[in-house]
């Protein structure tokens, strides 16, 4: 049971509750932004995906997980980031290495790359959510290992098209 001993404690707890609510609101706005941009990236990459090795499946996973994130499912940020990491080998070669017409192909690939950026910047939050989704105990060491794993997947995804 919470016991407030004096007025200073009451002010402290009120300020703490206000900061907590502000952080929750900011986190929700960020999730809406990541979900919206993920959905835009999926829509831009679906037409380009027929000529790639895994594009249609991952773009559809991105669309579904972005929709789940927009619906308020906080765990979906892990799937959004993993899907965006796996779509990098589909998007960046089509945007920069050519092989398709400038309009609409390369422009759509560039737009998808821009839309992927907010999700890729939230890799740390996605690693923490991925720890929870996998059922492991959430510690700083476990979250750091998952974060390193996601960064490694991103590096490999960037290098695969060059091979």
**Residue 23 confidence (pLDDT):** 74
Task: Please name the residues in contact with 19: beta carbons below 8 A apart, sequence gap of 6 or more.
Answer: none
Tokens read off for 155:
């590096």
Provide the Cα torsion 44, 46, 47, 48; round to 10°.
90
Percentage of the chain with pLDDT > 70? 85
Total Cβ atoms within 10 A of residue 109: 22
Asked whether residue 21 carries a pLDDT value surpassing 70, the answer given is: yes
Q: pLDDT of 55-68, one tens digit each?
A: 778 888 999 999 99
Q: At 123, which helix (H) or strand (E)?
A: helix 123-134
Asked whether residue 16 carries a pLDDT value surpassing 80, the answer given is: no
Pick the more confident residue, 32 or 18. Answer: 32
Asked whether residue 3 carries a pLDDT value surpassing 70, the answer given is: no
CA distances, 64 to each of 17, 49, 52, 87 (Å): 34, 16, 20, 14
d(C-alpha 8, C-alpha 93), whole Å: 59
Per the CB < 8 A criterion, the answer to whether 34 and 2 are in contact is no
Provide the Cα torsion 52, 146, 121, 79; round to 10°.
50
Q: Supply the pTM of this predicted model.
A: 0.78
The mean pLDDT value for 146-160 works out to 89
Q: pLDDT of 125-135, one tens digit each?
A: 999 999 998 99
**Residue 1 confidence (pLDDT):** 46
At 11, the pLDDT band (50, 70, 90 cuts) reads: low
Q: pLDDT of 78-110, one tens digit each?
A: 999 999 988 888 887 777 876 676 677 788 888
């Amino acid at each position: 049971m919470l016991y407030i001993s004096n007025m200073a404690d009451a002010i402290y707890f009120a300020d703490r509750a206000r900061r907590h609510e502000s952080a929750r609101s900011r986190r929700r706005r960020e999730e809406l932004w990541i979900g919206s941009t993920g959905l835009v990236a999926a829509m831009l990459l679906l037409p380009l995906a027929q000529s790639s090795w895994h594009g249609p499946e991952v773009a559809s996973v991105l669309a579904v997980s972005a929709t789940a994130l927009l619906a308020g499912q906080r765990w979906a940020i892990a799937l959004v980031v993993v899907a965006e990491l796996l779509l990098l080998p589909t998007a960046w070669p089509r945007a920069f290495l050519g092989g398709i017409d400038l309009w609409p192909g390369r422009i759509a690939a560039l737009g998808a790359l821009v839309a992927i950026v907010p999700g890729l910047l939230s890799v740390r939050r996605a690693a923490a959510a991925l720890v929870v989704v996998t059922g492991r105990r959430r510690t700083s060491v476990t979250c750091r290992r998952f974060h390193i794993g996601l960064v490694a997947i991103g590096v490999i995804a960037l290098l695969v098209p060059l091979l």
